[in-house]
Structure 1
Amino acid sequence: MSLGEDGPGTRTRMPEQHAGGTGRRTQPQPRRALVTVVGVVVLLIAALAFANRGGKSDGSAAADGTSGTKAGGAKGSSAASATAPTGQRPVTSKTAGIPAGFAHSVQGAQSAAANYAVALGGVDMFNAGRRHEIVATVYAPSVSAALQSTLDRAYSADAEKALGLTSDGTAPAGLTFVSRTVPVGAKVTASAPDAVSVDVWCTALSGLAGQGSTKPVSSSWFTVSEKLVWTAGDWKIQSSTQKQGPAPVNGDDQAATADEISGAVQQYGGFTYAR
């Protein structure tokens, strides 16, 4: 089955009360680490600096939307498509609370990549049971089993304690653990019928909100590069890397109080992202 490219644009559905995501900063934080698992480079949303910061994305700048580069085909324009509804029907199902059932198309792969970046950056990754569900859902079976044990070592009790969390990965009393990724856009860097590489540009919030927090919530910018493969009727991550930026110049916004940030995180739900 060949991949259809169903048109340009990014579509966002209404909130679904899912708080997920985390960012990259220059200070220690939950999102770090690139390691090799069974010969495949995978993205670990791991605690502290367990491994190297950042990673390399595909160097080729392929077109987004209808002018993407097919495997073995001609390279298209590198300009991103304007943000607009595509008419592609959004996913209506979930697996382990994560959007699932993406279209077998370049557009579907971009949607999957964005939603998987959100899931892998969320607070649920700090709970062992939920982390296992998430990894089993978004990664290809060929890499997920080995990745589970690697992540369990990364998300150790000592690592979570160093982040200011309790031994079960939750915030201490009176504080709110914030870890939320917001995809800004996606582009295809390579594609074949059953394998698509996607870059997802993200901004994120990460830290502990509340009075007396020594790790206040701050924002960051990073790009996740995911290679997805079509398996078992859906797109799954085979490998993933991350790098910092591109980050805009900080604005002159007045920082919110700890209570305002905590309240906003609890009151505003997340989105299902569609390309």
Structure 2
Amino acid sequence: MSLGDEHDGASGAGGGGTGQTRTRLPDSASGDGYGGVYGGARRPPRNSRSLITVVGVVVLLIAAIAFANRGGGTEDGPAADAAPARDAAPTAATGIKPVAGKNGTIPTGYSKDEQGAQSAAANYAVALGSDGMFNTARRHEIVRAVHDPAVVDGLLSQIDAAYSPAFLKNVGLNEDGSTPEGLTFVSRTVPVGTKVIESSGDTATVEVWCTGLVGLAGEGSTKPVTETWFTLTQKLKYIGDDWKVESSSQREGPTPVNGDNRASTADEIASAVAGYGGFTYAR
């Protein structure tokens, strides 16, 4: 079974003019996969260990499959220790700002060159791989901020359908996307490097090699935080004064050999997530 997926711009679909998307989805073993832009979300399986695929965020696809495949979200047990009094905050770029604008927490206004395209692709990977994608309002903000406006409405309708209460429950969250009491939900993407595949005028194709973290940290979790490695390919278009995503695809790896590091305890992971803020600027 292939875990990759992609969507390509197509013209004149439905009632939205141009810029609609055409999607290729991984097939469900039972033939009942939902349609989606960034993959296929399966209907809630009767067997709790059946494979489930994330729709709506390319950079979480492989990680979420493995994460959801481990069964239920929580089990009886003591709650994790309280987080430190000082909560983690996103880490912004220091010194001279690489870009002048910001849409929410997402940097905007990248230069119209290969450097700007790589920076945009890296930061969009971070945003699309964040835990904000599991909250409806935040998910809408992220998708609108990073995508070509011509494809946004079609994306949102499919993504929202995929992040159903049943799906969220299957990955260990509450049906509204909130985290069960005593646990810490982790979803972060960390770009390792970028490469321009094609660049011509208003368009560019950029590959972003990433590692990702996803899982529930804390005692009582049966879905501990795990890592995944993948390469995200983003087709970008320069619209107005910024790069925007027209389409994306993902493939697994390159994946390094696991080191000899000791796996941290649930409390250590939860404390790290609470204490270390993610980055608002990735490159």
TM-score between the two structures when normalised by the length of structure 1: 0.71
Matched, 1:258 2:258: no
Residue number among 38, 44, 59 corresponding to 2:38 in the alignment: 44
CA–CA separation in structure 2 for the residues paired with 1:46 and 1:152: 12
Label 1:46 to 1:257 Cα distance change in 2 as closer, same or farther (>3 A): farther
Label 1:200 to 1:119 Cα distance change in 2 as closer, same or farther (>3 A): same
The 8 Å contact of residues 229 and 237 in structure 1, kept in 2 or not, is answered as yes
Q: Which 5+ residue runs of structure 1 have no aligned equivalent?
A: 1-25, 55-86
The 8 Å contact of residues 43 and 242 in structure 1, kept in 2 or not, is answered as no
What is the CA deviation profile of residues 14-50 of structure 1, one whole-angstrom value per residue up to 9, with x for unaligned ones?
xxxxxxxxxxxx9xxxx98656673445962776326
The AA in structure 2 aligned to 1:169 is G
- How far residue 106 of structure 1 moved from its aligned partner, in angstroms, is 0.8
CA–CA separation in structure 1 for the residues paired with 2:39 and 2:104: 18
Residue number among 159, 168, 182 corresponding to 1:160 in the alignment: 168
CA–CA separation in structure 2 for the residues paired with 1:225 and 1:235: 14
Matched with 1:124 is 132
* Secondary structure in structure 1 of the residue aligned to 2:279: coil
CA–CA separation in structure 2 for the residues paired with 1:46 and 1:166: 21
CA–CA separation in structure 2 for the residues paired with 1:132 and 1:169: 14
CA–CA separation in structure 1 for the residues paired with 2:256 and 2:239: 37
CA–CA separation in structure 2 for the residues paired with 1:152 and 1:160: 11
CA–CA separation in structure 2 for the residues paired with 1:43 and 1:202: 20
The AA in structure 2 aligned to 1:142 is A
**Count of paired positions:** 214
CA–CA separation in structure 2 for the residues paired with 1:46 and 1:123: 19
Label 1:217 to 1:124 Cα distance change in 2 as closer, same or farther (>3 A): same
- How far residue 172 of structure 1 moved from its aligned partner, in angstroms, is 0.2
Label 1:130 to 1:45 Cα distance change in 2 as closer, same or farther (>3 A): farther
The 8 Å contact of residues 7 and 249 in structure 2, kept in 1 or not, is answered as no
Label 1:187 to 1:176 Cα distance change in 2 as closer, same or farther (>3 A): same
CA–CA separation in structure 2 for the residues paired with 1:108 and 1:94: 14
Residue number among 109, 114, 119 corresponding to 1:101 in the alignment: 109
Higher relative contact order (CA 8 A, sep 6+): 1
What is the CA deviation profile of residues 92-137 of structure 1, one whole-angstrom value per residue up to 9, with x for unaligned ones?
3310211111111110010000000010011100111111111011
Percent sequence identity is 53
The AA in structure 1 aligned to 2:276 is Y
CA–CA separation in structure 1 for the residues paired with 2:22 and 2:53: 20
Matched with 2:182 is 174
What is the CA deviation profile of residues 177-214 of structure 1, one whole-angstrom value per residue up to 9, with x for unaligned ones?
00000000000000111000000000111100010101
Label 1:110 to 1:230 Cα distance change in 2 as closer, same or farther (>3 A): same
Residue number among 227, 252, 272 corresponding to 1:244 in the alignment: 252
CA–CA separation in structure 1 for the residues paired with 2:278 and 2:54: 28
Label 1:219 to 1:274 Cα distance change in 2 as closer, same or farther (>3 A): closer
Label 1:32 to 1:165 Cα distance change in 2 as closer, same or farther (>3 A): farther
Q: Which 5+ residue runs of structure 2 have no aligned equivalent?
A: 10-19, 24-35, 42-51, 63-94
TM-score between the two structures when normalised by the length of structure 2: 0.69
The AA in structure 2 aligned to 1:125 is M
The AA in structure 2 aligned to 1:117 is A
Matched with 1:219 is 227
- Out of 142-151 and 265-274, give the one that drifted further: 265-274
Label 1:227 to 1:88 Cα distance change in 2 as closer, same or farther (>3 A): farther
Label 1:95 to 1:135 Cα distance change in 2 as closer, same or farther (>3 A): same
The 8 Å contact of residues 205 and 236 in structure 2, kept in 1 or not, is answered as yes
